[in-house]
Amino acid sequence: RLLMAIGAIAIIVGSAQATSDSEWSYADQNKWGDYCHEGMQSPVNINSPYSSEITIENDELRFEYHEIDNSYFVHTGNNLKLYGDFGNLRFNGYNYAASEVTFLRLSEHTFGKSKTTDLELQILHEDLSGKKLIVVVNYKKNSTDSLFMEQLNLPQIDGIEQGDSLFVNSEIDLGLIFNKATQFVYYRGSLPRPPCTLDVQYIILTTIRPISKRSLAAFPEDLVSMKRDTQDRNNRDIVIMNLKAGVDYSKSKSDSPSRISLAANATSILVEG
């Protein structure tokens, strides 16, 4: 009975999200509401000049996620989303709860000369007052999956269609993504889709994680390249944040990662290792 009840909740939430998404489309971005065309919008191109480079203590940025076994996917018609009670992020003295992850099969944020990655994850967090923070993780096609992608088992969503909800068939832990992470980019923008809420904080991991060809191939074809256009930077600050000690998420494994180049003269995404 409990499993059936949880399944019913998932379907209801998924249907509500799909209905909301039916009110806008990426094909008609110029028809989005006025609020989506004012202020500091997202996504942006991450490139020099950077406003500053700072070093922060690990207690100023803490990933306090946990394993869950009841997350589920929803195909909203515009995006593939993953829902669950993933845990918290503590940043600058505030706690933000994570409950939604958006998957984009071509990164919205670009780097250097408008370079993109194969997949962008946007982990949405909110504090008790409703203020939003999005952590962005980029993935590049590889022969193997990172440990988180292994857990997620994306091939299980093969064939998912608009309005569908699908439970993840394993335990997952977002924290595994951030093992050994040492560097991030920070800026303020907006939700990258309607209602384009302003004053959203962005924290972008500069390490590019691997994803297998098999996992990428399972992504819904009707959502490939569905993303918002790059928005003007408008002289806003983009800050490089270095953790004094790297994130220690001991359950993870080394991924031989690539890294987004953040050198002062960076013009592309560089592969290391």
pLDDT recorded at residue 94: 95
pLDDT recorded at residue 211: 97
pLDDT recorded at residue 261: 59
Whose CA is closest to 223, among 113, 108, 99? Answer: 108
pLDDT recorded at residue 48: 84
pLDDT recorded at residue 22: 74
pLDDT recorded at residue 230: 96
Q: How far apart are CA 124 and CA 52, in angstroms?
A: 25
pLDDT recorded at residue 21: 76
State which residues of the chain have pLDDT below 70: 1-20, 249-273
pLDDT recorded at residue 8: 40
pLDDT recorded at residue 61: 94
Please tell me the pTM assigned to this model. Answer: 0.87
- The backbone region for 272, taken as left when phi is positive above 0, alpha when psi lies in -120 to 50, beta otherwise, is beta
pLDDT recorded at residue 74: 97
pLDDT recorded at residue 180: 86
